[in-house]
């Protein structure tokens, strides 16, 4: 395929850029389009994978048939089989009438399965049967139906690693990846970043009826150095913000920096769950989690101080020099006024040894029991949060761990610790 043919495809599908990796991906898509082979498109989120699925459909003999794009991660696990393959009336609660699935209504066309790595294993088995035999069965039915649908899949995860972990079927992976297409991330496309910036700037100037923004050389250089973890989608959002908010249409580096997230790889983000559109844990739950963590740390600190005082390890000179510190700590220790008494004179600590009376030991035991109760309360709340996160994410630990702000390994340990089913 020559340069003019690639340029024609770019103009037709609104693809901006001239990077070699982008041109190669377009060339592969156009060459495989006339065939009926399955295609697996890989690339980071926001890199434009759906555009390549449209190229494949429009340049194929199926271009007059239906094209449906489905985000597998946006459909709940309990309903994805019904969405893809349909169901019979009464096959499950809420199935008040029969429904055709996407594979039935798209017969003769193309289905684009985005985020295929999020598809449940049982649904993967159904999909494999469609790819191999063109057959499927509706949920709640026994009749085998036929369909002639081309499947184009996309993912932003390493499916081979998912296969190794048992989260994706190996046979389905090799069946889908007959022809792989790799869409390069924006950071690997060089000057395409500037071309896209100017394109978006023109679009938003028309949208908001303002003059188009322009970058000076320093700002352009800074833009090209930015890594764009969100790829084209992130760049578009940044251009829209600048176009809508900046009065001066000549953008300097200092102005641009205000819109570029610092340490973007470590940016906190509210995870939306596996369906992409669901709500994350609400603010109250997140606040509870932070407070419980702080409270747990304080409880451990209290225990440490008590043990040190009980064993005589606390330097009395420290108590003399920082009485306010111990008074504040005293306020955090209810029912323990005598333990570090406010009116004690410094001379007492210089001339007399610290004595531990029986009633003081009783106080320590009472406080220890209080702390244990407090710790149990924290553990109860932590368990409730874990159960809630697992339930919200259909028991998918990966996404529950992201909601909770902990690693998947830590979540697994907590599940075993609290004996969560």
Neighbour tally for 383: CB within 10 Å: 16
pTM above 0.85, yes or no: no
- Report in angstroms the alpha-carbon separations of 43 from 6, 33, 351: 20, 19, 74
CATH classification (class only), 187-266: mainly alpha
Fold entry, domain 3-184: Rossmann fold (3.40.50)
pLDDT(337) > 80: no
Please give the Cα distance from 345 to 139 (Å, whole number).
81
Intrachain domains 3-184 and 187-266 with the same fold: no
pLDDT at 364: 45
Please give the Cα distance from 157 to 5 (Å, whole number).
31
Please give the Cα distance from 369 to 381 (Å, whole number).
19
Its sign, for the CA torsion 36, 42, 43, 46, is positive
Question: How many residues are recorded in the chain?
Answer: 421
Under DSSP, is residue 299 helix (H, G, I), strand (E, B) or coil? helix
What are phi and psi for residue 5, nearest 5 degrees? -70, -40
pLDDT(368) > 90: no
**Which of 123-132, 300-309, 329-338, 401-410 is predicted with the least confidence, judged by mean pLDDT?**
329-338
Burial of 186 (0-12, 13-18, 19+ CB in 10 A): buried
Look up residue 386 and give its two tokens: 């874990």
Show Cβ contacts of residue 386 under 8 Å, excluding neighbours closer than 6 positions. 400, 404, 411, 414, 415, 418, 420
pLDDT 10s digits, 211-240: 999 999 999 999 999 999 999 999 999 999
pLDDT 10s digits, 269-288: 443 443 444 344 455 556 65
Which residue in 167, 145, 173 sits closest to 85, CA to CA?
145
**Secondary structure (DSSP) of 151-201:** EEEEESS-HHHHHHTTSS-HHHHHHHTTEEEEPPPGGGSTTHHHHHHHHHH
Domain boundaries, the chain: 3-184, 187-266, 283-417
Please give the Cα distance from 51 to 36 (Å, whole number).
18
**Which of 97-111, 123-137, 329-343 is predicted with the least confidence, judged by mean pLDDT?**
329-343
Please give the Cα distance from 40 to 53 (Å, whole number).
9
Please give the Cα distance from 62 to 306 (Å, whole number).
76
Which residue in 413, 414, 390 sits closest to 403, CA to CA?
390
Please give the Cα distance from 330 to 126 (Å, whole number).
64
């Amino acid at each position: 395929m020559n340069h003019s043919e690639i340029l024609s495809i770019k103009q037709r599908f609104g693809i901006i850029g001239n990077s070699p990796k982008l041109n190669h991906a377009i060339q592969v898509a156009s060459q495989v389009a006339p065939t009926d082979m399955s295609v697996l498109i890989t690339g980071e989120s926001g890199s434009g994978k759906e555009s390549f699925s449209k190229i494949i459909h429009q340049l194929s003999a199926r271009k007059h048939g239906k094209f449906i794009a489905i985000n597998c991660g946006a459909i709940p696990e309990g309903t994805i089989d019904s969405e893809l393959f349909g169901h019979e009336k009464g096959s499950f609660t809420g199935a008040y009438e029969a429904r055709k699935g996407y594979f039935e209504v798209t017969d003769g066309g193309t289905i684009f399965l985005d985020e295929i790595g999020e598809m449940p294993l049982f649904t993967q088995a159904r999909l494999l049967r469609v790819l191999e035999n063109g057959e499927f069965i509706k949920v709640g039915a026994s009749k085998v139906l036929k369909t002639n649908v081309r499947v184009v899949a996309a993912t932003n995860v390493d499916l081979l690693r998912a296969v190794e972990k048992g989260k994706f079927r190996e046979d389905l992976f090799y069946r889908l990846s007959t022809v792989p297409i790799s869409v390069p991330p924006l950071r690997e496309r060089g000057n395409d970043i500037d071309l896209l910036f100017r394109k978006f700037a023109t679009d938003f100037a028309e949208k908001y009826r303002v003059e188009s923004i322009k970058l000076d050389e320093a700002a352009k250089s800074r833009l090209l150095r930015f890594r764009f973890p969100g790829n084209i989608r992130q760049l578009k959002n940044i251009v829209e913000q600048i176009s809508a908010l900046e009065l001066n249409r000549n953008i300097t580096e200092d102005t641009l920096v205000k819109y570029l997230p610092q340490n973007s790889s470590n940016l906190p983000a509210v995870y939306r769950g596996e369906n992409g559109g669901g709500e994350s844990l609400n603010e109250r739950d997140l606040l509870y989690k932070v407070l419980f963590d702080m409270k747990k740390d304080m409880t451990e600190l209290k225990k440490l101080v008590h043990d040190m005082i009980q064993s005589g390890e606390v330097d009395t000179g420290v108590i003399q020099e920082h009485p306010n510190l111990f008074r504040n700590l005293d306020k955090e220790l209810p029912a323990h006024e005598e333990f570090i008494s406010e009116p004690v004179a410094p001379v007492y600590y210089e001339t007399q040894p610290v004595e531990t009376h029986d009633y003081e030991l009783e106080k320590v035991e009472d406080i220890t029991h209080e702390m244990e109760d407090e710790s149990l309360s924290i553990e109860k709340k932590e368990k409730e949060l874990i159960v809630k996160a697992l339930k919200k994410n259909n028991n998918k630990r990966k996404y529950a761990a992201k909601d909770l702000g902990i690693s998947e390994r830590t979540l697994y340990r907590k599940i075993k610790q609290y004996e969560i089913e």
